[in-house]
Structure 1
Amino acid sequence: MRETDDDVVIAGGGLAGLTCAIHLLQAGVGVILIERTVYPHHKVCGEYVSNEVLPYLSVLGIDPFESGAVPINHLNFSSPKGEEISCKLPLGGFGLSRYVLDHLLYKRALELGCKMITDTVGSIVFKDDSFEVFTNASGAFKAGLVIGAYGKRAVPDQKLARPFIQQRSPWLAVKGHYKGKFPDGLVGLHNFDGGYCGVSKVENGLINICYLTDYENFKVYKNTNEFERQVLYKNPLLKNVFEQSRPLFDAPLTISQVSFEAKEAVYDHVLMIGDTAGVIHPLCGNGMAMAIHSAKICAELCMEYLEGSLSRAELEYRYGKAWELNFKGRMATGRMLSAIVRKKWLFGSLLKLLVKLPAVLPLIVKRTHGQPVR
């Protein structure tokens, strides 16, 4: 067992984990961050970030635009047949690949003195008011606080026996980068039979294409190319995007068993942030901003705990309530929208409403987004 003077161990080094580490490090708290993959690396992600987190990123010493982030201010929404509706995004956002953004946050955390461990967390055990974090290759670490930031689903979820992990999910996500023609300043959200696809630019003129589909629909086809041609191409807008673009990856990135079931913000005393606390449907386009915001909420409450202002029970209660206050409504809206999109008659009714009342679309966007985070 490695005894450590560090106050916090963060399991997972994606957006939420790195953001939380930077916040704590800036406040003088020692942090050990355990991430299984070497930076930089690509991830399955829509790579659109709402501007609501820009003020907070600035406080952390992060300027995405210095690394090539591109402004995005319009949404183009289409039905599987290519019927489309457009609107200006209320707050707007920016496009930046996870390859660049995560690496930017990683370098900032190192600059502030974060202890980085490249390894996989096997299990997290709470006993006698402290934690033991067991890794595959680096031994175990003891800490007073542990923050779970290891993503949508991982081995620690199985060891903790979290309820959602027992349920199989039908969702498969696919992502790739492309070179081609796509308008600046636009995020496209295009529906197809059994799923939806996000398209937007990131740094260096690259186009991110990321879609979510039901695995039962997908497995009928031999590979992603055939699936895209037989299913996604039925939406003429998507067909146009693919035909005017060439893939830059040897093969697209995929992730299966993406669960949108309700999760717990606190489980067995571990504070969960980002996707580990809950995954919003990609059609809402706000998962990255929510991950960053959840890290801020968690870090601020951890500071109060470490300063002696909160007991552990109070910390856990207040974090759970804060998570619900900020994100529960957005998650519910995402689930409702996904259910509507998957039922053709309901989706058709929604589309007719949006055509008649185009001002409704920005209102729906606002339901899944928050106010600027400072």
Structure 2
Amino acid sequence: MINIFDVVIIGGGLGGLTLSIQMADLGWQVLLIEQKNYPMHRVCGEYVAKEAWGFLNRIGIDANALQLPIIDKLKVSAVNGEFLTSTLTSGGRGISRFLLDDLLYQKAIEKGVQVITNTKVLGVQQIAKRWEIETKENIFKSKSVIGAFGKRSNLDKFFRRKYLEENLKNTRLKNFVGVKYHLKGDLPSDIIELHNFSGGYCGISKIENDLICMCFLAKGSYLKDAHSLEEMEQKYLSRNPFLNKYLKYERVWDKPLSIAKVDFSHKSISENTIPMLGDAAGLIAPLCGNGMTMAMQASVFLTPLMDSYLKEEISWEQMTDIYHKTWQSTFGKRLFTGRIIQRFFGNSLTTNLLIKLLNNSSTLTKTLIKSTHGEVF
């Protein structure tokens, strides 16, 4: 075991894994701690925008060799079945988190990253210019530490993150339940669909092996009212004719993957001076673009900053300050636009009005789609 690591990354999602690979490529000793075991399923839509695939190819994930579905069309429907279709200018590819996370995990191991799985981090503290990261079994020491621990973590409470206190006052963007299925059935491989229902919306798209990813978000109060997922699906989702069709498709799993208390509130980009990455920096509403892509992109501009800090070219404070500014300039407008759009979704009246408006203005539709996608990185 290394006495002092150069980098410890808490969380092995897309942001944490891609950061670990890049830092290892630069020659640094990296430890990544993940509380689950690979390969694993995660609750999220499974679509990676085209802007990310050049980067994934550079670190050794060959999209062409994987023969993934290429998605370049969008379909959005209201609860009453009214819909719009549009082209996705940049588009993307469908791939499951089960496959993508595992490919990145194997690549990290290949690059020399030390990965510890099935391990929960209990606390983090800075002593002088070193960090101590505590787990049940060990205390690891590092020159730097990054938080990439996902949607919900005990570390949020450990750090006493401000958003937790603020959410007691404002519940508008919190307390969603996320549910994901893999399905077998008929769906064009080149389209991603977004279907609204009362209290939420559902994404549908093809992934590898001709499977369909069906992932939906619903207000937690609606699940409480319905008493079970099955009852909620019949009471709310099935009222949309498109979703009613997909609810009848064969399900690959006996039980869905689900997560409660999904929260889209604003989070700080660092906590206790520790840079946050991916969902730990602020859960990306699906309508902001592509959270999988954004997590990886953040790792790309964090990597050279971490490298400069470890080479003692910049201070920790300078590193975190530049990271904050870059994160805001890269994602700020997308998050703002996505949150505005999200307020229209999950409500029958506003969703119907929005789709009618967009159907009457192809220019506005293309503008909104463009504003929720980024540049190639």
The answer for the alignment partner of 1:129 in structure 2 is: 129
Q: Is the 8 A contact 1:64 1:101 kept in 2?
A: no
Q: Distance in 2 between matches of 1:136 and 1:93?
A: 40
The answer for the alignment partner of 1:248 in structure 2 is: 252
Q: Distance in 2 between matches of 1:346 and 1:55?
A: 37
SS in 2 for 1:178: strand
Instruction: Specify the code of the residue in structure 1 equivalent to 2:149.
Output: Y
SS in 2 for 1:89: strand
The answer on 1:15 being equivalent to 2:14 is yes
The answer on 1:261 being equivalent to 2:253 is no
Q: Is the 8 A contact 2:287 2:339 kept in 1?
A: no
* Within-5 A mapping of 1:1-374: 4-118=3-117, 119-137=119-137, 139-166=138-165, 167=167, 169-243=174-248, 245-373=249-377
Deviation at 1:77, TM superposition (A): 0.6
SS in 1 for 2:54: helix
Deviation at 1:98, TM superposition (A): 0.4
Deviation at 1:348, TM superposition (A): 3.3
Q: Distance in 1 between matches of 2:338 and 2:139?
A: 38
- Point out where structure 2 has 5 or more consecutive residues left out of the alignment: 169-173
Q: Distance in 2 between matches of 1:127 and 1:331?
A: 35
* 68-77 or 2-11, which deviates more: 2-11
Q: Is the 8 A contact 1:171 1:214 kept in 2?
A: yes
Q: Is the 8 A contact 1:78 1:191 kept in 2?
A: yes
Q: Distance in 2 between matches of 1:254 and 1:293?
A: 26
Instruction: Specify the code of the residue in structure 2 equivalent to 1:292.
Output: M
How many residues get paired?
370
Q: Distance in 1 between matches of 2:348 and 2:206?
A: 29
Deviation at 1:129, TM superposition (A): 2.2
Instruction: Specify the code of the residue in structure 1 equivalent to 2:94.
Output: G
SS in 1 for 2:305: helix
Q: Distance in 1 between matches of 2:323 and 2:290?
A: 20
SS in 2 for 1:147: strand
Q: Distance in 1 between matches of 2:7 and 2:237?
A: 45
* 300-309 or 111-120, which deviates more: 300-309
Instruction: Specify the code of the residue in structure 1 equivalent to 2:84.
Output: I
Quick one: percent identity of the two aligned structures?
37
Judged with a 3 Å threshold, the aligned counterparts in structure 2 of structure 1 residues 105 and 3 are, in CA distance, closer, same or farther, namely closer
SS in 2 for 1:46: coil
Deviation at 1:349, TM superposition (A): 3.0
Q: Distance in 2 between matches of 1:97 and 1:365?
A: 23
Q: Distance in 2 between matches of 1:64 and 1:4?
A: 37
Instruction: Specify the code of the residue in structure 2 equivalent to 1:210.
Output: C
Judged with a 3 Å threshold, the aligned counterparts in structure 2 of structure 1 residues 65 and 150 are, in CA distance, closer, same or farther, namely farther
Q: Distance in 1 between matches of 2:242 and 2:363?
A: 22
Deviation at 1:338, TM superposition (A): 1.1
Q: Distance in 1 between matches of 2:345 and 2:71?
A: 24
SS in 1 for 2:193: strand
Q: Distance in 1 between matches of 2:362 and 2:224?
A: 36
Q: Distance in 2 between matches of 1:69 and 1:104?
A: 14
Deviation at 1:249, TM superposition (A): 0.9
- Point out where structure 1 has 5 or more consecutive residues left out of the alignment: none
Deviation at 1:251, TM superposition (A): 0.6
Instruction: Specify the code of the residue in structure 2 equivalent to 1:92.
Output: G
Q: Is the 8 A contact 1:32 1:116 kept in 2?
A: yes
Instruction: Specify the code of the residue in structure 2 equivalent to 1:91.
Output: S
Deviation at 1:275, TM superposition (A): 0.6
Q: Distance in 1 between matches of 2:88 and 2:294?
A: 17
SS in 2 for 1:359: helix
Q: Distance in 2 between matches of 1:181 and 1:219?
A: 32
* 98-107 or 50-59, which deviates more: 50-59
Q: Distance in 2 between matches of 1:64 and 1:156?
A: 34
TM-score normalized by the length of structure 2: 0.95
For residues 323-347 of structure 1, give each alpha carbon's deviation from its aligned partner in whole angstroms, at most 9, with x where no partner exists.
1111121111121111122454443
For residues 77-98 of structure 1, give each alpha carbon's deviation from its aligned partner in whole angstroms, at most 9, with x where no partner exists.
1111111101111110011000
- State the Cα RMSD in Å: 1.4
